């Protein structure tokens, strides 16, 4: 079955970015010339996704405003004959069919996914975590959809994780079946380094079969009271195969201030409009050791 829908959980408080996120959603912080969440929506559209379901929370209305038409702004740009900017703001509002559902309590990624059941229905779907921006010649989700088409099972994105960071990831026990593709034999959420079954950590792209919804209802909360998607996937693994795909591309973790700064610098350097001038500026900096 074709993957038509994508879920984007975007209901977190963004506490790592306070006070910048006191009134501005983390997902709307600028990354070069666009808000963070626009990157993942553009990846979804480029991968053939038709409908986006954004899980939001109280106070995140600016996300909805960004992807809706602004007739007043369009009128101003039209009057000032700023045609290029006019086309761009119109393009944003026409990117995809987007709907929103509010997560009333922040009870974990698994809970955020579970509340979208009525909107997704009983069909396979994609999940994008907006903290993870992936730069790739072929969109990362499009790569994963090719794996899904071959195996017809849930697929999670993985990458090699340094030993010192392994405790921050869900980690798979892999059995390689082809280049970059692994059958998952087991999963563990945030293991200690010595207990990790591999160095392949799950990152922010998933293709999930609809059976995950009922299993998330059965998934017990962790010590922090949150329902972890990785634990729901472990239950799913008892019923059907799950595959992991080590995508081709570069992932930027924009979920921390330092990560966002790194992503901003690297993506700005890759920008056709800004790259050359920004590179000249950086070369002029006399940075201390």
| pLDDT of 46 higher than 80 | yes
Query: What percentage of the chain exceeds 70 in pLDDT?
Result: 100
| Dist CA 21 CA 33 (whole Å) | 18
Q: What is the token pair recorded at 111?
A: 């809970």
Where in the chain does DSSP place strands (E)?
Answer: 5-9, 30-31, 34-35, 51-56, 97-102, 125-128, 132-135, 154-160, 170-178, 181-189, 200-208, 242-246, 250-253
Instruction: Establish if 289 belongs to a structural domain.
Output: no
Position 29 pLDDT exceeds 90: yes
Task: Report, as an integer, the average pLDDT of 24-42.
Answer: 94
Number of structural domains found in the chain: 1
The arithmetic mean of pLDDT across residues 65-77, rounded, is 92
pLDDT at 261: 96
Alpha carbon distance, N-terminus to C-terminus of the chain: 55
Q: What is the mean pLDDT of residues 134-142?
A: 96
Is residue 91 within 8 A of residue 127, CB to CB? The reply is no
The reported pLDDT for the residue numbered 193 is 81
49-59: burial string, b at 16+ Cβ within 10 Å, e else = bebbbbbbbee
Residue 283 to residue 278: CA distance in whole angstroms = 9
pLDDT band at 140 (very low <50, low <70, confident <90, very high): very high
Instruction: Write down how long the chain is.
Output: 289
The pLDDT score that the predictor gives to residue 246 is: 97
d(CA 86, CA 76): 9
The mean pLDDT of 151-173, rounded to a whole number, is 92
Mean pLDDT value across residues 265-271? 95
Q: What is the mean pLDDT of residues 214-235?
A: 91
Is the residue at 98 inside a domain? yes
What is the pLDDT, as a whole number, of residue 191? Answer: 86
- How many Å apart are CA 148 and CA 158, to the nearest integer? 15
Segment 214-242 shows an average pLDDT of: 92
Domain ranges, residue 249: 5-284
Predicted confidence (pLDDT) at residue 289 exceeds the cutoff of 80:
no
> Confidence class of residue 253 from pLDDT cuts 50, 70 and 90?
very high
Helices assigned H by DSSP within 174-228: 212-218
Which residues have a Cβ under 8 Å from the Cβ of 18 and sit 6 or more positions away? Answer: none
DSSP state of 149: H
Measured in whole angstroms, the distance separating CA 77 from the mean position of its chain's CA atoms is 32
Residue 66 · residue 20 · CB < 8 Å: no
DSSP three-state, residue 226: coil
Mean pLDDT, the chain, as a whole number?
93
The candidate with the shortest Cα–Cα distance to 31, out of 49, 15, 17, is 17
Instruction: Read off the CATH number of the domain in which 147 is found.
Output: 3.90.550.10
192: phi then psi, degrees, rounded to nearest 5: -65, 155
- What would the pLDDT profile of 194-210 be if each residue is shown by its tens digit? 888 999 999 999 999 99
Residue pair 129/112 in contact by the 8 Å Cβ criterion:
no
- Percent of the chain scored above 90 by pLDDT? 76
Please check whether residue 51 lies inside any domain of the structure: yes
The better pLDDT of the pair 258, 59 is held by: 258
Strand partners, 174: 184
- Has residue 204 been placed in a domain? yes
């Amino acid at each position: 079955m074709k993957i038509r829908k994508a879920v984007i959980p975007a209901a977190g408080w963004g506490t790592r970015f306070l006070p910048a996120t006191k009134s501005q959603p983390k997902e709307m912080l600028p990354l070069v010339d666009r808000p963070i969440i626009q990157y993942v929506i553009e990846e979804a559209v480029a991968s053939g996704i038709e409908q986006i379901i954004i899980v939001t929370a109280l106070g995140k209305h600016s996300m909805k405003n960004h992807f809706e038409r602004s007739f007043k702004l369009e009128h101003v740009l039209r009057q000032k004959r700023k045609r290029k900017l006019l086309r761009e703001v119109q393009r944003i509002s026409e990117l995809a069919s987007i709907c929103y559902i509010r997560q009333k309590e922040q009870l974990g990624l698994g809970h955020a996914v579970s509340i979208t059941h009525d909107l997704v229905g009983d069909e396979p779907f994609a999940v994008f975590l907006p903290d993870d921006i992936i730069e790739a010649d072929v969109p990362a989700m499009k790569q994963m959809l090719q794996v899904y088409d071959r195996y017809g099972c849930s697929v999670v994105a993985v990458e090699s994780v340094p030993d010192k960071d392994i405790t921050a990831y869900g980690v798979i026990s892999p059995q390689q079946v082809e280049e970059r593709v692994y059958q998952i034999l087991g999963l563990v959420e945030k293991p200690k380094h010595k207990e990790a079954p591999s160095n392949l950590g799950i990152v922010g792209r998933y293709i999930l079969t609809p059976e995950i919804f009922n299993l998330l209802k059965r998934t017990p909360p962790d010590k922090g009271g949150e329902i972890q998607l990785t634990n729901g996937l472990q239950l799913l693994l008892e019923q059907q195969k799950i595959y992991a795909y080590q995508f081709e591309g570069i992932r930027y973790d924009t979920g921390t201030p330092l990560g966002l700064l790194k992503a901003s610098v690297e993506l700005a350097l890759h920008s056709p409009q800004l790259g050359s001038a920004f590179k000249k500026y950086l070369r002029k900096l006399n940075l201390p050791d």
